[in-house]
Structure 1
Amino acid sequence: MFEIPQYSLSSQETLWFLLLATVLLALTRIIKPFNRKLETNQQNEKLPKDDEIEPLWDFDFRKEDPIKYQPYKTQGHVTMGIQKRVRSDWIRMDRGYLSRIEERLPLIRNKAEFTIGTGEVVNPAIEELYEEIMIRYLPARFPTMFKTQGGKLVKNLATGTTYPLTTTGLTHAQMLAYMGENVEASIDTSSVYPATTSSIEDFYFMCPDPNGDYRLQGYIACFPGGFLSPARVGESVREIHKPVPGYERKLGLSVDRYFARMKPGDFIGRMNWSLQVDGADLFRTDGNNYYPGTDQVVSDYKEDPSLDESFLRVEHQTLTKLPRSGAVIFTVRSYMTPLHQVKAEGDGKALAQAIESMPQGLGHYKMVQYWGRKVLPWLMEDV
């Protein structure tokens, strides 16, 4: 049988013991938060900040109205026009979701050679974006639409389809196709005006080359606003925008520098706009622009357009940089608003004044010299 020796502390030893205990307790309270902060910082270096995604627990896309964009009131013509965004607002959904997905599916499945772009340079970024959006973002942001199943699949409750919760076993073309079939930000305002439409998200991958220039290397692009993406693969941002009057002089170098300075996790937005006077078709390889010195043929209806077929086309672009690959992702969705609607809402004069204030070269690029003689006086008329 063991005996425990009895030992009593003197009053002086008791005092020193109490002082030591107090110091240790204080140090513990200081060190614990520091360790937690250090651990959190280490985790944030490895994982995306999913806690920055605010879940929409009561979200119903069928009741969600589209955002009204009026860049002609607030944004200059040849400017970056950048505004900071938060990660939660990266992808938007609204009430035209199902109808626009149905419009996009045939393009993805039947015209993949035009709509899906992969390659050795861009494939790591494609895989990274799939993880960011399909695995992390959608289930976290829209839990009423995207539900994980058994840790292997995500079910799209709106369409009834599923997609893998991993990139294992998927080709990079399949990853892009899954993104194209699920990520959408469309509008359906048929109750207001039957022809109002918008596109779902198109993604363009700008990857840095050895010289630090960002070049288009991949895409899922079903609704281009002026060119077929395969023809532009390998081009830099400046080369893609070379036809835009004033771009090189005002923005060329600043855009390159801005891309280089962007940090992973930054989200910025900008808008571009033009008039489309020959219908609401979102798939436009010729665009709404004039290219002097080329064999471009301008149709007669550009000079005498039908006002019923004339639209304001707005591109809302979101840019972010991926942490592993360093690729800058352009997320683009295009909104088509009938000019009749713009005028009915009292904005006809504001739009006309914005068009008239364009520098001459930019106005010609946007074909004002053709449709302007008819459209501008009509927009200036009182409602």
Structure 2
Amino acid sequence: MTQYVSFSEVPFKPALRQDTHHEELPSNYNDIEPLEDFDLNTAEPVQTRPWKPKYHLTMGLEKCTFSDIIPIDKTLEERLALRRKIVSEHSDMVIASEPSSEAAVKEFYAKLSNWNISIGRDLFEPRENPLTVLPLWLMGWIRTVFDWLGIEALQMKSADLDPEEMNTRCERQTLHRLMENDNTLVFSFKTYQYPLKQIRDEGGGPALAEAIRGINRGSVPTVEWYKASPYWGRAAMEYLRGGSSEEPGEICK
């Protein structure tokens, strides 16, 4: 699982004569409900199954509280270690900012520190020398997806894939506005990966297979090439259906 945070500055608009923005915010904006009887060693990651028979590009917005904006589970230490490694070795690719975001970044990390301590004092505690967030001005050109991954995905063939090593990837995204820097939106998304074997064993294989088959049958048919599904779709669907050779559908051109 991987988690990313980005900041988006919305265009400034002059305030109305009676600006009640902060007064209209919910009173529990900073109220965090502590975790009770929480065991970090056994807490399972969020299990989400968002797939549909046809892929329609929608946002699927739902309300959530600030208590569960960042779910914590037994993979926490592993993910933090991986994040430190990636930032240390590839900072030029994964970190970027502009001078205008400095105040927003500082506010966000101040809120995040408060969130960490409030959500679980047994998990997080302040240090004598707390981390000082410094602006890091790393600007670079946007790399293509294939340059980033370092793989030649378009040359992949379904016959080359081992379904036992395949995973389905889901994202849990959150969006909220900062209070002090209220022209800034914080967009956070966390990636979950579930082995196809797990999906098939729990009985969800046919539903996921139908969703794969329907990738090019929704509102954005060309998304199948973005996801490269013509190259892995057949192998995945046959595996999810129990290894049968059922008609794979148009996705496997």
Task: Kindly indicate whether residue 191 of structure 2 is the aligned counterpart of residue 334 of structure 1.
Answer: yes
Q: Corresponding residue for 1:69? A: 48
Task: Kindly indicate whether residue 222 of structure 2 is the aligned counterpart of residue 368 of structure 1.
Answer: no
Task: Kindly indicate whether residue 65 of structure 2 is the aligned counterpart of residue 99 of structure 1.
Answer: no
In structure 1, how many angstroms separate the alpha carbons of the residues matched to 2:186 and 2:37? 29
Q: 1:47 to 1:356 in 2, by over 3 A?
A: closer
User: What TM-score do you get using the length of structure 2 for normalisation?
Assistant: 0.72
Q: Corresponding residue for 2:171? A: 315
Paired letter, 1:315: E
Rg comparison, structure with higher value: 1
Task: Kindly indicate whether residue 4 of structure 2 is the aligned counterpart of residue 143 of structure 1.
Answer: no
- Which structure has greater strand proportion? 1
In structure 2, how many angstroms separate the alpha carbons of the residues matched to 1:74 and 1:324? 42
| TM alignment of 1:1-383, pairs within 5 A | 49=28, 52-73=31-52, 76-134=55-113, 136-147=114-125, 154-155=126-127, 164=130, 170-173=133-136, 230-232=140-142, 285-286=148-149, 298-302=154-158, 304-325=160-181, 326-358=183-215, 359=217, 360-381=221-242
User: What TM-score do you get using the length of structure 1 for normalisation?
Assistant: 0.50
Give, in angstroms, the shift of residue 362 of structure 1.
2.1
Q: 1:371 to 1:74 in 2, by over 3 A?
A: closer
Does the CA contact (< 8 Å) of 2:53 and 2:210 recur in 1?
A: no
Give, in angstroms, the shift of residue 72 of structure 1.
0.8
| Bigger RCO (CA 8 Å, 6+ sep) | 2
Q: 1:74 to 1:374 in 2, by over 3 A?
A: closer
Of all paired residues, the percent bearing the same amino acid is 27
In structure 2, how many angstroms separate the alpha carbons of the residues matched to 1:106 and 1:342? 30
Give, in angstroms, the shift of residue 127 of structure 1.
0.9
**Structure 2, gaps ≥5 residues long:** 1-19, 245-253
In structure 1, how many angstroms separate the alpha carbons of the residues matched to 2:162 and 2:233? 12
User: Secondary structure of the equivalent of 1:319?
Assistant: strand
Paired letter, 1:132: K
Paired letter, 2:164: D
80-89 or 351-360, larger mean C-alpha shift: 351-360
User: Secondary structure of the equivalent of 1:66?
Assistant: coil
CA RMSD of aligned residues (A): 3.7
Does the CA contact (< 8 Å) of 1:55 and 1:141 recur in 2?
A: yes
User: Secondary structure of the equivalent of 1:331?
Assistant: strand
User: Secondary structure of the equivalent of 2:209?
Assistant: helix
In structure 2, how many angstroms separate the alpha carbons of the residues matched to 1:343 and 1:105? 33
Does the CA contact (< 8 Å) of 1:60 and 1:144 recur in 2?
A: no
Does the CA contact (< 8 Å) of 2:55 and 2:214 recur in 1?
A: no
Does the CA contact (< 8 Å) of 1:73 and 1:354 recur in 2?
A: yes
Give, in angstroms, the shift of residue 171 of structure 1.
1.3
User: Secondary structure of the equivalent of 1:70?
Assistant: coil
**Structure 1, gaps ≥5 residues long:** 1-40, 148-153, 156-161, 174-217, 220-228, 234-239, 244-283, 289-295
In structure 1, how many angstroms separate the alpha carbons of the residues matched to 2:174 and 2:210? 27
User: Secondary structure of the equivalent of 2:169?
Assistant: strand
Q: 1:103 to 1:88 in 2, by over 3 A?
A: same
In structure 1, how many angstroms separate the alpha carbons of the residues matched to 2:124 and 2:241? 46
